[in-house]
Structure 1
Amino acid sequence: MRPKSGLAALPWPALGLLAALSVAAPASAAAPPTQPTDGPGGVGDKAATITKRAVGRASAATYAFYKAGPAPEGGRPVAVFLHAWGAPNPQAYGAWIDHLARHGWLVLFPRFQEVNRTRPADAPAIAARLLKSALSDLAGDADARPDPERLALIGHLAGAPLAAHLAAEAAKEGLPAPKLVYVVMPGGIARDAKSRGIPLGDLDGMSPKTLLVTVIGDRDARAADAAARRILRDAHSVPPERKLLVRALSDDHGFPALTATLASPAGLDAAYDGGAIKLPPDPPGEKPPPFRWSADMALSGEQTTLVSQINNARADSLDFLAFWRTFDMAAAAAFAGKDAQSLKNDPAFSDMRRWGDGWPVKRLGVETPKVPATPAAVQR
């Protein structure tokens, strides 16, 4: 009898192990889509040097990021990035900030929270002061010069109701009205004046020319879905054709899988570590107000877990295509005076491209929110 060779020579336990490894091994799994080389969500000017600085003062600073060199005539479009509660270091969103800066944006990252020392109820007023001060400080800067006519707000989790609140209060606060309010995985909204969270306030002050886009995922989605619909619903002054609800879908067809969680819009880039950016000093002799601690300043256990996920997230295809690209397209539409229906009708807006084996990635869900019969019929 001829001796066995190859797989036939292996004992049964070894064959079982080999079979299990072949199933689990990702080596042959389809790769996810890569970042586009150009256009919305694309790489941008990779040769550019990005200026990273802080304006204001040490106790009330805003980080500013933009391409080095003179600003174009008319100034730079402005993206105001409002972070999740407990994630005030811009490096957690560094990949997205880098993308925006390389596409010519002036990115402002107000440091509206000092972890375990800031009350959520105080965040809107702090953010408004910081943004107003930063726009004023940079108005005469030849390199950073902001264009107040092209202002967009990006809010993640607790930063989402904060973005909506700032947009509604812009006229009262002496701020330019944002053309785009883009909120991702919204959450952290206070139920009432006595509960913990960011007060949403009355959104009827939001300009009717605003394009209002909410983006949620399908993992841990219930709270974000409810918050997104509330923001869309409560902004009565914004007509329905200027509102959009976008849903990113998880997809495990290939490896690594794409998972649309609450933390997925974050993307670590240590080059944007706020700790490495020198803060301007406080005015001589000025003393900060006395600190009074309250229980809602502290992060809960659930918040701490989520913040850990945010601080360790890495950019993937969801970032390139579901978040960065849809923001880029929404901003272009908003600045051109187009409405949300133009985005919904564009097949490219919801397209998530294909896995490495040609299988399509699950497309984004895009819907126009339903209009209530009358504002009075809306339950808050």
Structure 2
Amino acid sequence: MRLTARRVLLAGLLAFSAGLASAQAATPPGQPKDGPGGVGDTQTGIAKRALGRGTNVTFAFHAADAAPAQGRPVAVFLHGWGAVNPQSYGAWIDHLARNGWLVLFPRFQEVNRTRPADATANAGRLVKAALDEIAADPQAKPDRARVALIGHLAGVPIALNLAAEAATLGLPAPKLVFGTMPGGIASGPKARGIALADLSAVPAETLILTVIGDRDARAADIAARRLLREADAVPVERKLFLRALSDDHGFPALTATLAAPAAVDSAYDAGAIKVQPEAKDVKPPPFKWSPDMALTGEQQTLVAQINNARADTLDYLAFWKTFDLAAAAAFSNGSAAALKLNPRFADMERWSDGWPVKRLAVETPKAAPAAQNAPAARR
């Protein structure tokens, strides 16, 4: 009995010590009040609506007040495969909308009913229809000269495809493509995934940034470097490869996984946004099932992680801040090389005890060898 009591007492002391240590652990930096990555206008309401009908919709978000005379810059948010509800990225969307952006979230996929091969065309058609529908709206007022594409996972190759095919699709050419944790690229003509367009058609003046993490990083690393390499009309001075680093110095720890760019905000739940039903005289095209429509087990696990992600320092400083700074540079004809030299760009601020959070690793990608630039060498 005495031995048992001692064990119980020891266990209690250990649990108390662990709890005390957690309570005293350094906390990570919060969201900046203003500026890049900042909170923005907390007093304004956010307009939320669905453009289009039925399943062919783009969700639009912007401040519920009159747009500036110049119009609002446009951020097209291209979701990860299976993560079709904007609430999964709601915290980032809220940040953008409160900082003056018009955010378009095209739902280019019906889960388990859309082939990856059709995703780019779906996204392009939806974005064009949304821009046309909202063009004359005094609150939305998209500025077609200031367009940025944000992609996550499979949304990244779709973003580069749209940049390459903007003229053909009737879309404004994006000034910035910002790809986080790229993936889902088909490895061959008949392979599962997003088939890449001829990325050499991406205009030379485009700014391209890819951001990966250091957890589950190999596939994203390979995909990011491939996308940067194949967009070979864009000079290396207009490209950056970024790596966000996990940091467990304090509590909660910062973990740069594939799901890290997601940050749920239920205020952006698609289910709460009214969608107009499809017109009665419109018949849907015949449905033909294909095996690559179904989410794999790995994809289902990742979607579950995305749908449970919460905003943290990595969101505020590794994704939102770097996007904000990159967009400002892109819209003023600045270069990626100048961004790299900006000490604020890679800075992740400090834990509450003064210890610096691990900085972003920022790299200028190497120019593609001449042999890889030839069309025959493209995969």
Letter in 1 for 2:247: D
Distance (whole Å) between structure 2 residues aligned to residue 57 and residue 237 of structure 1: 37
Q: SS in structure 1 opposite 2:248?
A: coil
Distance (whole Å) between structure 2 residues aligned to residue 282 and residue 16 of structure 1: 62
Cα contact 2:55–2:110 (8 A) shared by 1 = no
Deviations 1:361-380 (A, max 9, x none): 00000010011331536674
1:55 to 51, 58, 67: 51
Distance (whole Å) between structure 2 residues aligned to residue 154 and residue 12 of structure 1: 54
Question: Cα distance 1:375–1:48, how it changes in 2: closer, same or farther (>3 A)?
Answer: farther
User: Within the alignment, does 1:171 sit opposite 2:175 as a pair?
Assistant: no
2:355: which partner in 1? 359
1:368: which partner in 2? 364
Deviations 1:17-66 (A, max 9, x none): 41454146411110110000110000100111000001111231100000
Distance (whole Å) between structure 2 residues aligned to residue 76 and residue 298 of structure 1: 37
Distance (whole Å) between structure 2 residues aligned to residue 149 and residue 59 of structure 1: 28
Q: TM-score, normalised by structure 1?
A: 0.95
Paired residues, what number? 371
Letter in 2 for 1:126: N
Cα contact 2:149–2:178 (8 A) shared by 1 = yes
User: Within the alignment, does 1:301 sit opposite 2:304 as a pair?
Assistant: no
Cα contact 2:211–2:244 (8 A) shared by 1 = yes
User: Within the alignment, does 1:64 sit opposite 2:64 as a pair?
Assistant: no
1:263 to 259, 271, 289: 259
Question: Cα distance 1:375–1:67, how it changes in 2: closer, same or farther (>3 A)?
Answer: farther
User: Within the alignment, does 1:22 sit opposite 2:22 as a pair?
Assistant: no
Q: SS in structure 2 opposite 1:198?
A: coil
Counterparts of 1:325-344 in structure 2, within 5 Å, are 325-344=321-340
Deviations 1:157-192 (A, max 9, x none): 000100011000101111110000000000000111
User: Within the alignment, does 1:319 sit opposite 2:315 as a pair?
Assistant: yes
Letter in 1 for 2:83: A
Cα contact 1:236–1:375 (8 A) shared by 2 = no
1:223 to 219, 226, 235: 219
Q: SS in structure 1 opposite 2:123?
A: helix
Structure 1 gaps, min length 5: 1-9
Deviations 1:79-102 (A, max 9, x none): 000000001000000000000000
Counterparts of 1:241-256 in structure 2, within 5 Å, are 241-256=237-252
1:98: which partner in 2? 94
2:342 to 334, 342, 346: 346
Letter in 2 for 1:295: P
2:235: which partner in 1? 239
Counterparts of 1:121-132 in structure 2, within 5 Å, are 121-132=117-128
Q: TM-score, normalised by structure 2?
A: 0.95
Deviations 1:235-265 (A, max 9, x none): 0110110000010000000000000000000
Distance (whole Å) between structure 1 residues aligned to residue 276 and residue 257 of structure 2: 36
Structure 1 vs Structure 2 CA RMSD: 1.4
1:138: which partner in 2? 134
Deviations 1:275-318 (A, max 9, x none): 11111232331111111111100000000000000000000000
Letter in 2 for 1:145: K
Distance (whole Å) between structure 2 residues aligned to residue 273 and residue 295 of structure 1: 29
| Stretch of structure 1 that moved more, 109-118 or 52-61 | 52-61
2:207: which partner in 1? 211
Distance (whole Å) between structure 2 residues aligned to residue 112 and residue 306 of structure 1: 18
Distance (whole Å) between structure 1 residues aligned to residue 366 and residue 13 of structure 2: 54
Cα contact 2:79–2:154 (8 A) shared by 1 = yes
Cα contact 1:84–1:158 (8 A) shared by 2 = yes
2:147 to 151, 163, 172: 151
Letter in 1 for 2:316: F
Letter in 2 for 1:129: R
Distance (whole Å) between structure 1 residues aligned to residue 172 and residue 360 of structure 2: 31
